[in-house]
Every structure is written in C-alpha cells, then in structure tokens.
C-alpha cells in the first residue's frame, strides 16, 4: 500500500509537470523572465498606490469594541436589545443628516441626466421627497405650510430631508457613489468604496461617540445641560414641542456634536439603517461588524428618535422600525463609507 501511495503521488506530480510543459510548448505559459521580472513572482507591475480620501461632509469613526444594546431600563419592556459586546471596523459617516439642499442636488441631477432611462414620472414618484407626509402623518394637524414649503423653499435648505423611504435612501447612496467616483476616474484617481446606509451596529457605535454604555450621545443621564438647555430636538412632554426651541425639525448642527463630531445622532429626525428588523436579531448576528439581512423582511431598522418622539427614543440603545416603502415626516438618513485597511492614525 505504501509503495502504491508513493507511486501514485509521483505519478500525480509527473502529470502536473507534463501538463505545464505542454502548455508552455503551446505558448500558453510565458517563458521565464519574458515580462522583465526574471521569472520571479513580484505581482502585477504598474498598480497605483492607495490612500483613502475622506469625503466632504464626513467624519472618521475609529474601529473599536463596545457593548451594543440598551444602556438604561427598558420601560417599554420590549426585551429586544440585550447587551452584546461587538467589534466595529473603521468607517466614515456624514457629520449631519442629509439636508434638503443636498438631496435636491441628487433630484436635480436625475431630472437633468436620467429622464431618458428612468422616466420623469418614476423620478418624481419614487425619489422626489413626499411632502404630503406633513399632512398624512398627523390627524387633524395644520401641516399645509410645511407641505408647501419644507422641501423647496431656501429657508429650509439646511434642514434634514424627510419624506424619503428606505428604497430612495438606498438609491441616493448609489447615485452619490457613481457621482463621486465618475469624477475621480476622470481626473485619474482610484475609485473610493461605496456610499451606503450604516448598519444598525455602526449607527449605534457612532452615536455613542466612544462613550461605551452611554445612554445618550452626550453621555448620562440628562437631556439638559447645566444651564438648562435641551441637548437635542425632541418632544419633552405631552403637548410640549418647543422647549428645545424648535416646534418641528431644526437646521442641522443646531445642537452640540458628540465626541466624534457627529451631530443630531439623537433627535431632529430618525434615521434609516441598512438592517432588516427582527426583534431577535441581536443574539443571531455575529459579534464582528454585525448586520441582519433578510430580503423578505419589509421592516427596516430606524434609529435615533425625532422631533416628535419622547426621550426614550433618543437613547442610543432604543430600537424601532418602519416599512421600507413608507416615507415619514420624521425619518431621514445619513451615509456611511467603509474605511479600507488599517488607519495610519492621522485620520482618526
């Protein structure tokens, strides 16, 4: 048996060698050193160097480990976000929610360049912000002025865009990727990774700003600072919307950023995440860059709380959802981008 195995191994080696000689004889294998490499394995020459470029309007979020999940009591008794230690890779994230004027650049570009492929009606029906949400979302509410002015009037340019469903937010991310990388290629630069919606874990990690187990992005445990000023735009109590100085949404950067330079991670508008929603997803996902995927699940994770939510929804560990084809007057989004390779240190 031993002799057979040795002979069989020798026969196999000879077969491979004969096959290589045959290929070389047919000209299918290059001769030694024909590429100027002396027959050595040196990799493909002429590859461009690589350096991550930080996109305009984004901040760097360093890699790290944190305890994902509720950071305080669970008064809703939802039991859907127990603590779990996870690790997140480094990435970039928009320092604010996407504003009306930034989203307008996307819509105007589609109307200028994509009507022939998408059709004007598709663009207006699926990607134009649905301003009727200001009337539809709230019964017996005078939402007409906001319906008429919120998206198109210059007075709201720096306010977060709303009335955009999950699908439209995803398409915006794809357009933003193509728009930037087309320019980079045109000037001889290497394309950057895709813009995308952040995963739920990335969003929560970024929201805490390096404060592990923090109840809010600014820390614990209050929603006012030492001077009595509100630290986010939300609903402090029944019928009370104006204690934070804004009855509806606020211009981005109206409140202090967290320790990583991210604004409005709590309040103003809630934000779409990439993940499908599952009440049991926390124990199911991996503990390294977790993301729950389910193409048959129409519920998508929404995080951060909004101008019309009580403080519970502003907590970094509170989970909720909305259907992916539903546009709301209180849900917006921001983009993330994966950082490739280890940071040199000066980005973070």
Per-residue pLDDT of 141-157, as tens digits, reads 999 999 999 999 999 99
Q: Which CATH class is domain 58-338?
A: alpha beta
Cβ(236)–Cβ(311) below 8 Å: yes
Host H or E run for residue 322: strand 320-323
- Cα separation, 251 vs 41, in Å, equals 56
Q: pTM for the full model?
A: 0.88
Phi-psi region for residue 140, left (φ > 0), alpha (ψ -120 to 50) or beta? left
Alpha-carbon span 119 to 114, nearest angstrom:
7
Does residue 42 or residue 198 have the better pLDDT?
Answer: 198
Cα dihedral sign, 30-33-36-37:
positive
User: Which of 167-176, 257-266, 338-347 comes out lowest in average pLDDT?
Assistant: 338-347
Mean pLDDT value of segment 240-245? 93
pLDDT at 10 (0 to 100): 44
Q: Quickly count: other Cβ atoms within 10 Å of residue 127's Cβ.
A: 22
Q: How far is CA 281 from CA 69, 77, 192, 285, 301, in A?
A: 12, 17, 30, 6, 11
Query: Strand ranges (DSSP E) for 184-308?
Result: 195-196, 270-276, 299-303
Is residue 81 within 8 A of residue 69, CB to CB? The reply is yes
**Residue 323, H or E segment:** strand 320-323
Least confident range from 66-80, 86-100, 325-339: namely: 66-80
Contact 96, 252 (CB under 8 A): yes
- For residue 327, pLDDT over 70 is answered with yes
Q: From the CB of residue 224, how many other CB atoms can be counted at a distance below 10 Å?
A: 13
Q: Report DSSP state, residue 154.
A: G
pLDDT at 6: 45
- Tens of pLDDT, residue by residue over 46-56, are 777 778 889 99
Cα separations (Å) of 176 from 54, 58, 179, 193, 234?
A: 14, 13, 5, 11, 30
Whether 5 shows a pLDDT value over 90: the answer reads: no
* In the chain, % of residues over pLDDT 70: 88
- Per domain, the residue ranges of the chain are 58-338
Is a pLDDT exceeding 90 seen at residue 1? no
Cα separation, 291 vs 332, whole angstroms: 20
CA 17 to chain centre: 51
User: Is the distance from CB of 284 to CB of 86 less than 8 angstroms?
Assistant: no
pLDDT band of residue 32 (cuts 50, 70, 90) is: low
Distance, in Å, from the CA atom of 348 to the CA atom of 338, rounded to the nearest integer, reads 14
| pLDDT tens digits along 102-145 | 999 999 999 999 998 999 999 999 999 999 999 999 999 999 99
């Amino acid at each position: 048996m031993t002799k057979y195995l040795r002979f069989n191994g020798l026969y196999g080696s000879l077969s491979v060698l004969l096959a290589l000689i045959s290929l070389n004889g047919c000209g299918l294998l290059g001769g030694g050193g024909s590429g100027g490499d002396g027959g050595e394995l040196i990799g493909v020459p002429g590859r461009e160097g690589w350096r991550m470029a930080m996109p305009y309007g984004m901040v760097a979020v360093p890699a790290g480990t944190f305890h994902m999940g509720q950071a305080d009591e669970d008064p809703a008794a939802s039991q859907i976000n127990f603590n779990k230690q996870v690790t997140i890779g480094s990435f970039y994230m928009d320092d604010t929610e996407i504003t009306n004027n930034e989203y307008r650049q996307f819509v105007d570009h589609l109307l200028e360049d994509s009507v022939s492929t998408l059709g004007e009606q598709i663009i207006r029906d699926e990607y134009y912000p649905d301003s009727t949400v200001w009337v539809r979302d709230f019964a017996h509410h005078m939402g007409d002025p906001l319906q008429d002015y919120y998206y198109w009037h210059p007075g709201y340019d720096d306010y977060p865009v709303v009335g955009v469903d999950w699908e439209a937010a995803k398409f915006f991310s794809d357009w933003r990727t193509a728009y930037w990388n087309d320019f980079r290629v045109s000037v001889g630069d290497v394309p950057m990774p895709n813009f995308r919606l952040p995963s739920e874990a990335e969003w929560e990690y970024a929201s805490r700003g390096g404060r592990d187990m923090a109840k809010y992005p600014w820390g614990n445990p209050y929603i006012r600072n030492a001077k009595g000023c509100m630290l986010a735009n939300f609903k402090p109590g029944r019928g009370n919307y104006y204690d934070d100085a804004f009855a509806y949404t606020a211009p981005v950067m109206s409140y202090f950023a967290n320790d990583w330079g991210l604004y409005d991670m709590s309040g103003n508008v809630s934000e779409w995440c990439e993940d499908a929603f599952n009440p049991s997803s926390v124990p199911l996902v991996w503990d390294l860059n977790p993301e729950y995927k389910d193409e048959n699940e129409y519920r998508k994770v929404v995080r951060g709380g909004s101008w019309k939510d009580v403080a519970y929804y502003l907590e970094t560990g509170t989970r909720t959802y909305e259907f992916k084809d539903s546009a709301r007057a209180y849900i917006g989004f921001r983009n993330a981008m994966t950082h490739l390779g280890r940071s040199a240190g000066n980005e973070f």
